[in-house]
């Protein structure tokens, strides 16, 4: 498997399969093309025999100089549980540390129990929210009305 930086042209390869990777859940609107155009140095693709099997879209914060943010990570369902996600995260961590970053943040929905478990396993801490849902701190209406989110932070 090969990890490389994203290219603008990767967008047209990922978008058609993205909802399938999430079992039909509508995800394409959460991943605009601008990420593939403007954050190539901190976003990655994993390929196996020329096929994209995973990706991570992340960036350095423009507001907080020593922080970075992971916006979106996807792994082809047939390639899960073999360490691709961990390799992507470690690649991102190494890159942002080269830029003096000591804090990485990311967000997920409270319903995404797999994401919550995965991020805590990677050493992310759930930030205190304004409500508790199923024992987890949640930020109500974070992304709009009824768009509750779990916020994570990791110190590198």
pLDDT of residue 153: 98
Alpha-helical regions (H) of 39-145: 84-98, 113-121
Range of the domain at 151: 2-155
CB 30 within 8 A of CB 70: no
Q: How far apart are CA 4 and CA 131, in angstroms?
A: 39
Handedness of CA 73, 51, 22, 82 (dihedral sign): negative
Q: What are phi and psi of 127, to 5 degrees?
A: -75, 145
Residue bearing tokens 């890159």: 95
CA atoms within 13 A on the CB side of 6: 30
Q: How far apart are CA 110 and CA 149, in angstroms?
A: 6
Q: How many domains does the chain have?
A: 1
**Residues composing the chain:** 156
Q: Is 151 helix (H, G, I), strand (E, B) or coil?
A: strand
pLDDT of residue 15: 97
pLDDT of residue 97: 97
- Looking only at the bridges linking them, the beta strands covering 103-108 and 67-75 are parallel
Q: Is 21 helix (H, G, I), strand (E, B) or coil?
A: helix
pLDDT of residue 148: 95
pLDDT of residue 90: 98
Within 10 Å of residue 2's Cβ, how many Cβ atoms? 9
CATH of the domain at 78: 3.40.630.30
**Mean pLDDT split into 10-residue runs, the chain, 156 residues:** 97 96 92 98 97 98 96 96 97 97 97 94 97 95 94 98
Token output for 2:
């090969």
């Amino acid at each position: 498997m090969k990890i490389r930086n994203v290219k603008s042209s990767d967008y047209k390869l990922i978008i058609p399969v993205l909802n399938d990777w999430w079992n039909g859940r509508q995800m394409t609107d959460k991943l605009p093309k601008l990420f593939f155009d403007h954050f190539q140095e901190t976003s990655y693709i994993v390929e196996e025999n020329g096929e994209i099997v995973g990706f991570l879209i992340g960036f350095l914060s423009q507001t907080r100089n020593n922080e970075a943010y992971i916006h979106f990570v996807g792994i082809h369902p047939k390639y899960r549980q073999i360490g691709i996600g961990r390799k992507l995260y470690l690649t991102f961590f190494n890159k942002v540390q080269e830029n003096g970053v000591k804090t990485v943040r990311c967000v997920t929905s409270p319903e995404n129990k797999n994401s919550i478990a995965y991020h805590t396993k990677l050493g992310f801490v759930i930030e205190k929210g304004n409500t508790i849902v199923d024992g987890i701190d949640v930020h109500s209406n974070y992304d709009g009305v009824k768009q509750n989110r779990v916020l994570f932070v990791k110190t590198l």
